Amino acid sequence: MNSKNLGLFAIVAAIAAVVAFVVVRGERKAETATTDAKLAALFPGLDGSLNDVVSVTVQTASGTTTAEMKDDRWTLKDKSGYPIEAGKVRGLLLGLAAMKDLSPRTSRSDQYKSIGVEDVKSADAAKPVLPANPEEPPPPTSQSALVTLVGKDGKAIASVIVGNTKFENGGTQGVYVRKPGEPTSYLADLGARRFDLPRQATAWIETKFADITRDRVWSVTITPRDGGDAEVVTVRKRDPAAGAFVIQSIPAGKELKNPGAAESIASTLAFCTFEDVAPASSIDFGGTEGGKPGSEVRVRTWDGLVIDLSQTEQDGKTWWRLTASPDADPYKEVPAAPPPTTPEGAESAPPTAEPKPRRTPEQVAKEVAELNAKWGGWAYAAPAYKSSILNTRLSDQVRDPAPPAAQPSGGEGEPNVPVKPPNP
């Protein structure tokens, strides 16, 4: 390594050391600026009142999110009552109740931001505090969040400002906290317990809403909004063991632009996560109030499930509405198996197994009921890359074949070899 590279390496190492020093210095400065005694428990007796909590509000500089109990289940108020994972709420409540034997940290308001416990409503809560020395890197964005638990009587059971997370050696987790209106902040040592505070609305909910894997799919039919039958795209496998999906009814004299398009279409409903969710009644699937309806899609599986999907564009997003139903005869369009042949020397042909659904009608009906209970009344903003796959037509998938490559002309039976001019 030459002296120039050594010098560059030394500069990079020095910068990294400065960054680490600034972050640690700010944190330690905030941690040591106190003379208060340890706090035995953040909320004494909270663990005995968790079942009385009916609302959890998380307020940050960017907005407020409220989880509330409705009809014996947790829902997200900000998303019109979309169901919440109960485990997330329970984990948050248990985490707050477990904050005991807290170590005091800073009581200085000018140090709150370095550990994320500044007042959320303060004018500068959303802005990073720039260091006095412009050569120092700015501190991390504050994680300040005001968490309020409300009971059945409508009164607050507990309220706390939750700040940054600190991981100690050995993997234990600590969280900086401060009660609103009180000067002293604390570091709550949670040990091996993990404290997960959802700070955005979508962090409360399970965003995966469909997962029809490729191995289950028999066919996908995409019917564009216009263009008639000639524009319908149908993707199908010959049988469950067939290796690849095939786009059907390619027009004569045409070829596929992308031979892998069929696989992409067949896999579209695998691991679908939404970017937003809204009541289906608020989304214009009919195209009468500003929405732009797209293709209609039908997915059929080998085990008797049918999924119908409608699409529309609204507010810069493509929304899906899904319904499930049982397929009364999932194998009615499968071509008959060729008659078995008798191997030479054998007395009879081996038996041929007829394709049969892998599930009973009762099992299919159970899945249909579960999917419709989940999807019913909701519209999902799907990722753009998945929506674009299903907003297609047959003319988008085919092209004219490329003309054959011109053959070089030369002497009879000889290649056309360029003649090198003689040297002057």
Distance of CA 24 to CAs 101, 106, 242, Å? 23, 15, 59
Tokens coding 212? 């029809």
Tokens coding 54? 């009916």
State pLDDT tens for residues 276-298: 999 999 999 999 999 999 999 99
Query: Measuring CA to CA, which residue among 245, 295, 297, 296 is closest to residue 266?
Result: 245
On the question of pLDDT at 301 being above 80, the answer is yes
Identify residue 146 by its one-letter amino acid code.
L
Strand partners, 228: none
**Separation between Cα atoms, residue 176 and residue 272, nearest integer Å:** 36
Looking at residue 17, what is its pLDDT? 46
Strand partners, 217: 301
Q: Where are the domains of the chain?
A: 35-201, 208-332+358-399
Tokens coding 376? 């019913």
Tokens coding 227? 């263009």
Helix ranges (DSSP H) in 33-54: none
Looking at residue 15, what is its pLDDT? 45
Q: 14 by DSSP, 3-state: which?
A: helix
**Separation between Cα atoms, residue 24 and residue 72, nearest integer Å:** 45
**Separation between Cα atoms, residue 84 and residue 214, nearest integer Å:** 28
State pLDDT tens for residues 92-143: 999 999 888 799 999 999 999 999 999 997 645 555 555 556 566 655 566 8
Helix ranges (DSSP H) in 251-313: 261-266
DSSP strands (E only) in 47-167? 53-60, 63-70, 73-76, 82-83, 100-104, 145-151, 156-167
Looking at residue 236, what is its pLDDT? 93
Query: Measuring CA to CA, which residue among 278, 109, 84 is closest to residue 198?
Result: 84
**Separation between Cα atoms, residue 197 and residue 203, nearest integer Å:** 9
What mean pLDDT, rounded, does the chain reach?
A: 83
